[in-house]
Amino acid sequence: MTEKFTIGTRGSDLALWQANYVKGELERLNPDVGFEIRIIKTTGDEVLDVSLSKIGDKGLFTRQIENELLAGNIDVAVHSLKDLQTEQPQGLIIGAVCKRETPNDVLVSKTGSIDDLPRGARVATGSLRRRSQLLHYRSDLKIEEIRGNVGTRLKKFDESELSGMILAYAGLHRLGFGERVNQLIPFEVMLPAVGQGTVAIEIRERDKKTANIIGGLNDHTTNLCVTAERAFLRKLEGGCQVPIGAMATLDGDSLKLEGMVGSLDGSVAFRESIMGRAIDPGLLGIHLADKLIERGAFKVLDQTRAQVVGDGHAAPLFGN
């Protein structure tokens, strides 16, 4: 009989695209093994009327899936890497990361590029990182929060008086909405979330059999880059709900890492870059974080957390 492996995933359109992509690749690499997908609801999927920054970010889109993996009810978990905590729960590891899609954020708009937006234009995003960098570049813009999967956000946008909306290119492209992109936002304006555009496959730490099955999906270049980015984020004690961005690129044996920390209103933005040998990407991430810490990154992040807890950013939740 064909051995069966169960893939756990969220149920959003993008999560299912990712899970089906991984399933197809695993079937191609392991023709004698059967794979099935199991949908698992997470806190982030169930609470849709509250800002993500108010819910908290520890396992928001992953905890329930990881619990099922630890319990042995699924064999692998497929995630957007940017949703994962920087430290895996005890007993779990990232077994593979797939080749990264274009990691940039994009603008969906009714006018053109960010520079073309009218003064005081309303722009939607559910990300404090995007909010911070957008306001640093255009302090006149009015930011509103928006929740929901990609299709839902596009529908809300089309039916609104919003001038623009910021999303990740990877999600739009993978779901066939690439034509909605008005601008691929350059890294000079907006650094992406750590690991953005990367699909991660999580497994049990001592499950050598599953590690061998998924090993062929691991992309070495992507792995080096996201390892540096995640080390940077970990050192800053950051999660997905603070304004931290990073982007690593590999050139031969050299790794370049850029990182930013900003305030909610965009008035403060620390940004640095570093280059080093790709042999130790984690150390590179730590060194870059130290450079930002020396400039006052911890103070900015502490202020941001205090503002979020106290609802200091006070952006209305759009489209509930």
Read off the pLDDT of each residue in 79-96 and give the average, rounded to a whole number: 94
User: Quick one: angle between helices 150-158 and 13-29, nearest 10?
Assistant: 150
Lookup result for tokens 């982007």: 247
- The mean pLDDT value of the chain amounts to 91
Would you state the pLDDT for residue 319?
37
Question: Which of 238, 203, 199, 11 lies closest to 88 in space, CA to CA?
Answer: 203
Domain layout of the chain by residue ranges: 1-99+198-218, 105-191, 219-320
Which of 15-47 are b and which e, b meaning 16 or more Cβ less than 10 Å from the residue's Cβ?
bbbbbeebbebbeeebeeeebebbebebebbee
- List the catalytic residue out of 83, 116, 158, 290: 83
Write the pLDDT tens digit of every residue in 123-143. Answer: 999 899 999 999 999 999 999
Same fold across 1-99+198-218 and 105-191: yes
Sheet holding 92-97, edge to edge: 33-39, 3-9, 76-80, 199-204, 92-97
Would you state the pLDDT for residue 58?
53
Is there a catalytic annotation at residue 83? yes
Lookup result for tokens 């990407």: 281
Write the pLDDT tens digit of every residue in 205-232. Answer: 999 999 999 999 999 999 999 999 999 9
Length of the chain: 320
Q: Does 219-320 carry CATH code 3.40.50.300?
A: no
Write the pLDDT tens digit of every residue in 10-66. Answer: 999 999 999 999 999 999 999 999 999 999 987 765 554 445 444 455 567 788 999
Q: Does 105-191 carry CATH code 3.40.190.10?
A: yes
> Which CATH superfamily, name and number, covers 1-99+198-218?
Periplasmic binding protein-like II (3.40.190.10)
| Single-letter amino acid code for the residue at 253 | D
More confident site: 310 or 270: 270
| pLDDT band for position 80 (cuts 50, 70, 90) | very high
The full DSSP string for the chain is --EEEEEEE--SHHHHHHHHHHHHHHHHH-TTEEEEEEE---HHHH--SS-HHHH--TTTTTHHHHHHHHTTS-SEEEEEGGGS-SSPPTTEEEEEEPPPPP--EEEEESSSSGGGSPTT-EEE-S-HHHHHHHHHH-TT-EEEEE-S-HHHHHHHHHTS--SEEEEEHHHHHHTT-GGG-SEE--TTT-PPPTTTT-EEEEEETT-HHHHHHHGGG--HHHHHHHHHHHHHHHHTT--TTSSEEEEEEEETTEEEEEEEEE-TTSS-EEEEEEEEETT-HHHHHHHHHHHHHHTTHHHHHHHHHHHHHTTTT---EET-
Read off the pLDDT of each residue in 89-103 and give the average, rounded to a whole number: 97
Distance CA 125, CA 268 (A): 19
Which of 140-163 are b and which e, b meaning 16 or more Cβ less than 10 Å from the residue's Cβ?
ebebbbbbbbbeebbebbeebebb
- Torsion-angle region of residue 197: left (phi > 0), alpha (psi -120 to 50) or beta? left
Would you state the pLDDT for residue 49?
46
Distance CA 30, CA 319 (A): 44
